[in-house]
Amino acid sequence: TLSRANAVSVRSEMSYVMIKPDGVQRGLVGDIISRFERKGFQLKGLKLYQTPQAVAEEHYKDLKEKPFYPALVGYICSGPVVCMVWEGKGVVASARKLIGATNPLASEPGTIRGDFAIEVGRNVIHGSDSPENGERETAIWFGSEGLVEWTPTMTPWLKE
Ligand code: UDP
Ligand code: MG
């Protein structure tokens, strides 16, 4: 059988999650972080950050041809954001469920966008859409300072 040492030596998945400027201005930071903590994912990076335009452009480069791209980059740079990296098994898909659908009017109640937003251009939060983008976005936002490696004491109560 797989020993615990083997199981934890496998680098687990990361999601880059970001509270957008509207979420910070509206005082939703604590509530949003709490949802990820309660779920049981591990916080690996956290900062309040005034985004330079080049960073927002790199983050959303796949959307460069979309008509909403200039407004999106302006929105992300319009005030401080809260940058986070959450780690754990299945965190990318689970974070997207906690966050809800892109259009907040289509997001289920109980999700972050479903509870807190109305418009797609003010949808409060970002979460990576694949493990590969989790790595890519983590490098963009935390590449220079890196992440914090630590051992949560609750691990035996969250993992079999
Ligand atoms: N967005 C927008 N108008 C649109 C679609 C997207 O302003 O018609 C913004 C919105 O803030 C969204 C972000 O662009 O969160 C990135 O779009 P994506 O399709 O990747 O949605 P997400 O992954 O954030 O749910
Ligand atoms: Mg996306």
Per-residue pLDDT tens for 30-71? 999 999 999 999 999 999 999 999 999 999 999 999 999 999
Strands 42-49 and 81-87: antiparallel
Please give the residue range of the domain that contains residue 139: 13-145
Average pLDDT over residues 12-36: 98
Examine residue 26 and state whether it is found in any structural domain, yes or no.
yes
Examine residue 8 and state whether it is found in any structural domain, yes or no.
no
Cβ atoms of 120 and 102 closer than 8 Å: yes
- In angstroms, the CA 28 to CA 35 distance is 11
Examine residue 67 and state whether it is found in any structural domain, yes or no.
yes
Examine residue 64 and state whether it is found in any structural domain, yes or no.
yes
List ligand 1's pocket residues with C-beta within 6 A.
68, 72, 102, 120-121, 123, 126, 129
Which two structure tokens, joined as six digits, stand for 99?
A: 């966050």
Examine residue 154 and state whether it is found in any structural domain, yes or no.
no
Examine residue 1 and state whether it is found in any structural domain, yes or no.
no
Q: Looking at residue 47, which CATH number applies to its domain?
A: 3.30.70.141
Any binding-site annotation on 26? no
Q: How far apart are the CA of 20 and the centre of ligand 2, in A?
A: 13
Examine residue 18 and state whether it is found in any structural domain, yes or no.
yes
Examine residue 73 and state whether it is found in any structural domain, yes or no.
yes
Any binding-site annotation on 68? yes
pTM above 0.90, yes or no: yes
Which two structure tokens, joined as six digits, stand for 138?
A: 């983590």
The total number of structural domains that make up the chain: 1
- pLDDT tens sequence across 118-158: 999 999 999 999 999 999 999 999 998 999 999 999 999 99
